[in-house]
Amino acid sequence: MYTEKVMDHFKNPRNMGEIEDASGIGTVGNAKCGDIMRVFLKIEGDVIEDVKFKTFGCGAAVATSSMATELVKGKTVKEAMAVTNKAVMEALDGLPPVKVHCSLLAEEAIHAALWDYAQKHNIEIDGLKEPKADIGEHDSFEEI
C-alpha cells in the first residue's frame, strides 16, 4: 500500500516530539476524522532552527508529518512557505490516492504553526492565511 519511504518515515519518524519553548505551535485536523497533527517550531532570526511534531492518525499522517518537518527544518520562513503538500508527497515517493489529504494536513500544520508564530510576534508572513479552526472536512474519495 505504502512506498518504502512512507514506511521508513512511519517506522522512524523524524522530529517526533515537543519543543518546550516553541516559537509557534499549530494543531490541525480533528479526532472525528481520525487525523490530528501538531507542529512545534523554533524560529530564530528568520530561520526554522528546530521543528517537532506529534500526530494522531494513520501511517500516511505520521509519515507526511515526519517528511514535512524534515523539509522545513533549517529553512527560512519564506522557504518553508514554499513547501507544498505536493513536495511532501514527492519526497515520500507518492501516496495512495485516498491518503492525499494527509499531505494537505501536514502542509496546513506547518502553516498553522507559522501563523501562531506570526501572531505571537506580530508579523505578517506573505501568503499565509489564518488556519481553519477545523479542516476535517476533506473530500471523501470518489463514490460511484
Partner 1 sequence: MSKIIYLDNAATTQLDENVFEEMKPYFVEHYGNPSSVYSIASESKKAIDIARERVANSIGAEVSEIYFTNGGTESDNWAIKGIAENYVNKGKHIITTKIEHHAVLHTCEYLEKQGYEITYLNVDEDGLVNIEELEKSIRPDTILISIMFANNEIGTIEPIKEIGEIAKKHNIIFHTDAVQAFGHVPIHVNEMNIDLLSASGHKVNGPKGIGFLYIRKNIKLKSFIHGGAQERQRRAGTENVPGIVGLGAAAKIACDNMEERAKHLIKQRDYLMEQIEKNVDYIRLNGHRTKRLPNNVNFCFRFIEGESLLISLDMEGICASSGSACTSGSLDPSHVLLAIGLPHEIAHGSLRLTLSHNTTKEELDFVVEQLKDIVNRLRAMSPLYEDFVKAQK
Task: For partner 1, give the closer residue by CB, 7 or 47.
Answer: 7
Q: How many CB atoms lie within 10 A of CB 75?
A: 16
Q: How far apart are CA 59 and CA 55, in angstroms?
A: 10
Grid coordinates given for 47: 530561520
18 near partner 1 (CB under 8 A): yes
Residues 6+ apart with CB under 8 A from 52: 15, 16, 17, 18, 19, 22, 39, 40, 69
- Catalytic option among 62, 102, 109, 114: 102
- Our finding on whether 134 is near partner 1 (CB under 8 A) is no
Torsions phi, psi for 118 (to 5 deg): -65, -40
37 to 76: interface string for partner 1, x by CB under 8 A = xx---------------xxxxxxxxx--------------
Which cell numbers in the block locate residue 36?
490530528
Residue with cell 508572513: 125
Q: How many residues bind partner 1 (CB under 8 A)?
A: 34
Q: Of residues 3, 8, 33, 76, which one binds partner 1 by CB under 8 A?
A: 33
> Where do contacts with partner 1 occur on this chain (CB under 8 A)?
1-2, 7, 10-11, 13, 16, 18, 27, 31-38, 54-62, 96, 98-99, 138, 140-141, 143-144
